[in-house]
Amino acid sequence: MTMTASSAQLAAQPIQNTTTSSTVVSTGGLFNGGSFSSVYYATGDEIVFAMNPAGTLSNDCTLQLQISINGSNYAVLRTFTNAEITAADGFAAPVKLGVNTQFRFRFVPGTTAANAANNVTVRFKN
């Protein structure tokens, strides 16, 4: 049996307007207040971020997930707490972003000694 569809029916089909990837991305060690990750574009509506601490982090450090919808102004979407980012076994959190949302991370060190060995690495599949 042959199936046919009009051009209007074909045009009405939902499409995915971005490519998908199963690449695991790593921010590298974020270690001081001016340390921003690269800017990434979300390829899905929800991404799971896994964080791993290294070195000695102070009790007042946090990690910000910042987003932008215009490519230049970034706002904090979520702040990961010290308890989350310093968990001995690491920490993972799903976050709803939306396809094509630009995002980056910023490590806010608090009183953590400014040393590249004291850092947080974020990994995610995008």
User: Is the CB of residue 31 less than 8 Å from the CB of residue 116?
Assistant: yes
User: Is the CB of residue 84 less than 8 Å from the CB of residue 105?
Assistant: no
- Please identify which residue in the block is written with the tokens 């959190």: 93
Q: What pLDDT, in 10s, does the model give residues 29-72?
A: 888 766 789 999 998 888 899 998 888 888 999 999 999 988 88
Residue 1 pLDDT level (bands cut at 50, 70, 90):
low
User: Is the CB of residue 58 less than 8 Å from the CB of residue 80?
Assistant: no
Q: How far apart are CA 62 and CA 45, in angstroms?
A: 24
**Residue closest to 29 by CA, chosen among 10, 53, 57:** 53
pTM: 0.77
All domains in the chain, ordered by first residue: 30-125 (2.60.120.200)
